[in-house]
Amino acid sequence: MIKLIMRRYFGIAKCFAESLVAHFPPPNQRAAQLIQTYYRGAQGDFRSDVSKGDKTGPLLINIVKLFHNMDYKSFSAWGRVISGTIKKNDQLRIMGENYMSGDEEDLFVRNADKLFILQGRYKLEVTEVTAGNMVLIGGIDQAITKTATLTHAENLPLGVDIMLPLKFWSQPTIKVAIEPLIPN
């Protein structure tokens, strides 16, 4: 399908599609790479289970961005489903950037009210999303500041930890000094 689309619009579909296949690993291999590089938890059953990237395995989602909704009052959380399957109205355990294993600080339980898949500038509402896909989750924004790690709230083994938070290196590009025209 992608070869047909590329051939019609670009003319060199074979080269482009084959380079995508060659340089982007399948979801199960990418899950193992992500867990090896970014998961903070110790070696154990949970870590080895989510490294498989299986849709029937335990749920692990790495939230990396918040998108504002059309009402500009709430946000939807965007992230990658590394392992497992998330379904609409699932009860999720949200572990924020400051979460430490065994501590209740920065730990929340919320329901996934809506699930979307981004398609260009449009959002397609779905009922479930499996491992290897990117998902936009509504209803959990109050518990997330920048990034978070999500799992199912029930039947979770001890010692589950978070994915490493993203580092945002940013410097202001403009400095503005403001003073009133008529000071009192």
Q: Is the pLDDT of residue 163 over 70?
A: yes
What pLDDT is stored for residue 6 in this prediction? 66
Band (120; pLDDT cuts 50, 70, 90):
confident
Q: Among the residues of the chain, which ranges form H helices?
A: 2-9, 13-23, 27-38, 45-51
Read off the tokens for 159: 């010692």
Residue-wise pLDDT tens digits, 142-160? 889 889 999 998 877 777 8
Query: Which of 38, 41, 59, 45 minimizes the C-alpha distance to 133?
Result: 59
What pLDDT is stored for residue 83 in this prediction? 92
Cα(33)–Cα(39) distance, integer angstroms? 10
Residues 133/106, Cβ–Cβ less than 8 Å? no
- Residue 183 CA: distances (Å) to CA of 74, 146, 179, 180: 37, 39, 8, 6
What pLDDT is stored for residue 12 in this prediction? 60
Domains of the chain: 26-152 (2.40.30.10)
Residue-wise pLDDT tens digits, 44-88? 888 888 888 889 989 999 999 999 888 888 999 999 999 999 999
Partners of 151 in the β-ladder:
93
Cα(162)–Cα(170) distance, integer angstroms? 23
Residue-wise pLDDT tens digits, 103-112? 788 889 999 9
Cα(165)–Cα(168) distance, integer angstroms? 9
Cα(136)–Cα(116) distance, integer angstroms? 5
Q: Is the pLDDT of residue 90 over 90?
A: yes
In whole numbers, what is the pLDDT of the chain averaged over residues?
85
